[in-house]
Amino acid sequence: MHELSIIASLFEILQEKAQEQKATKIILVKLKVGKLSGVVPEFLQTAFDLYKKDTIAADSTIEIEAVPLKIRCRKCRAEVLQDDFVFICPACGSTELETLEGTELFLEKIDLEI
């Protein structure tokens, strides 16, 4: 479960930002997680809940926004949201695709109490 190591790294960032702002509490953490990121949002939630105990984020919540897979066909230029991992353009049948969204994993927002 690499989600635990992701959350451990996230907490390093959270603690650093809280110290910079002289925050007393972390209220909210918002992440964006792409469908192709290789991360399971439910496991992130569980890891966060375990990791936050006895920290400045003990009472915080995590919001995880799932980012769908969006592709563009290099042949016909169609842009499509994919629900599955079939990498074939539904418009022309080409396999010459580029990923526009859906691989991201990043911290979007931290709400702090100062």
48-107 residue pLDDT tens: 999 999 999 999 999 999 999 999 999 999 999 988 888 899 899 999 999 999 999 999
**Cα–Cα dist 11/24, whole Å:** 15
Residues paired with residue 34 on neighbouring β-strands, in sequence order = 67
Instruction: Encode pLDDT of 8-56 as tens digits.
Output: 999 999 999 999 999 999 999 999 999 999 899 999 999 999 999 999 9
- Say which CATH architecture domain 3-113 belongs to: 2-Layer Sandwich (3.30)
Beta strand 105-113 pairing with 69-73 = unpaired
Asked if residue 43 lies in contact with residue 1, where contact means CB atoms within 8 angstroms, the answer is yes
User: What predicted TM-score, i.e. pTM, was given to this entire model?
Assistant: 0.82
> How large is the angle between the packed helices 3-20 and 41-51, nearest 10 degrees?
50
Distance CA 101, CA 68 (A): 7
